[in-house]
Amino acid sequence: MSYHSGYIAILGRPNVGKSTLLNHLIGQKLSITSRKPQTTRHQILGIKTTDDAQFIFVDTPGLHKGGRQALHRYLNRAAQSIVQDMDLIVFVVEALRWEEEDDIVLSYIKNASCPVILVVNKIDLVKDKDQLLPYLELVGKKHAFGGVVPVSANKSLQLDTLLDLLKAKLPESEAHYPADQLTTRSSNFVAAEMIREKIVRLLGDELPYATTVEIEKFEDSKKLLKLHAVIWVERDNQKSIVIGKNGEKIKKIGMQARKELQNFFEKKVHLETWVKVRKGWADDERALQQLGYIDEF
């Protein structure tokens, strides 16, 4: 029996469900999700190993137009840079919607030399299923795709069909990573992202892009994980928003993050958080590099 293994980029405009797709494909919460566009800021590698294949998925920030800050320029560069280095590309779009930013993503994908699979996500939200087939036919003609698969990542619908197609398209190769490895990302990174997810979900309307998280202390023992996390904001008034009246917001962020961290690391977690101001970090190339945003791979 031949073995298949390779790297698969998950590309798409913001908020089409790329991170949800990755999490459900690998069967583990790895990439953070929210309803806010640009929740994913890093290339996140998730590994799924089976008896006859190893799928190495790379979740990317959503490609989008505009955005003058250094952070937004970085997000676009990060998503664009991997097109030439993949064995496969999964291009994710939303059922019954095609926007200008989808065309932007497709313009980069057309330069790829590897096969591209079009994944039409969120089919569970389509009330009139008769509309779906014409849409699939329409978008399927926009490029010489290696296949078109309608799915619901959130409901895990058609994901086995997608995996079968991806396996057939992957090169014959030995596994690149040990069978029990989930990601190449450090535990520090995973912890910081889980905390940032709670901030985005609780404060996304007030602080959509102004926060990031840095782990200053990570002490892992057999039964207890001790974490000290700094939540960085850009202005003093943002600090008060994160803390909340009488510390209510920061307490809620900590409680929700600790619960998620305990589920992931499968042990008790002691989490302490601080909120600090670093003026203009999102538009400072040096600050972005120090916070882990530049030269990730």
What sign for the dihedral angle of Cα 160, 161, 164, 167? negative
Give a yes or no: residue 231 inside a domain.
Answer: yes
Tokens describing residue 73: 């320029």
Cβ neighbors of 242 (< 8 A, separation 6 or more) are 199, 203, 207, 211, 231, 233, 249, 250, 253, 275
| Shared-domain flag, residues 62 and 16 | yes
pTM of the predicted structure, to 2 decimals: 0.77
Q: How far apart are CA 201 and CA 203, in angstroms?
A: 6
Give a yes or no: residue 175 inside a domain.
Answer: no
Give a yes or no: residue 179 inside a domain.
Answer: no
pLDDT in tens, the chain (297 residues): 799 999 999 999 888 999 899 999 998 877 756 555 454 445 778 999 999 999 999 887 656 555 555 555 655 565 566 777 899 999 999 999 999 999 988 988 888 889 999 999 999 999 999 999 999 999 999 999 999 999 999 999 999 999 999 999 999 999 999 999 998 888 888 899 889 889 988 887 777 567 889 999 999 998 999 999 999 988 899 999 999 999 999 999 999 999 999 998 999 999 999 999 988 766 666 666 666 665 443
Which CATH number is 262's domain given?
A: 3.30.300.20
Mark residue 248 as left, alpha or beta (left: phi above 0; alpha: psi -120 to 50; beta: remaining): alpha
Position 68 scores a pLDDT of 54
Position 40 scores a pLDDT of 47
Give a yes or no: residue 257 inside a domain.
Answer: yes
| Shared-domain flag, residues 244 and 136 | no
Among 295, 296, 280, which residue's Cα sits nearest to residue 70? 280
Residues composing the chain: 297
| Shared-domain flag, residues 165 and 195 | no
Among 67, 89, 76, 120, which residue's Cα sits nearest to residue 9? 89
Q: For the chain, what is the largest distance between any 2 Cα atoms, rounded to a whole number of angstroms?
A: 62
Give a yes or no: residue 264 inside a domain.
Answer: yes
Give a yes or no: residue 178 inside a domain.
Answer: no
| Shared-domain flag, residues 37 and 157 | yes
| Shared-domain flag, residues 203 and 264 | yes
**Using an 8 Å Cβ cutoff, are 95 and 121 in contact?**
yes
For the chain, what is the domain count? 2
Give a yes or no: residue 295 inside a domain.
Answer: no
| Shared-domain flag, residues 12 and 142 | yes
Residue 29: domain span: 4-169
The DSSP secondary structure of 155-173, one letter per residue, reads TTBSHHHHHHHHHHHSPB-
| Shared-domain flag, residues 117 and 221 | no
Q: Which one of 125, 141, 169 terminates a domain?
A: 169
Position 184 scores a pLDDT of 86
| Shared-domain flag, residues 203 and 133 | no
| Shared-domain flag, residues 71 and 162 | yes
Position 185 scores a pLDDT of 83
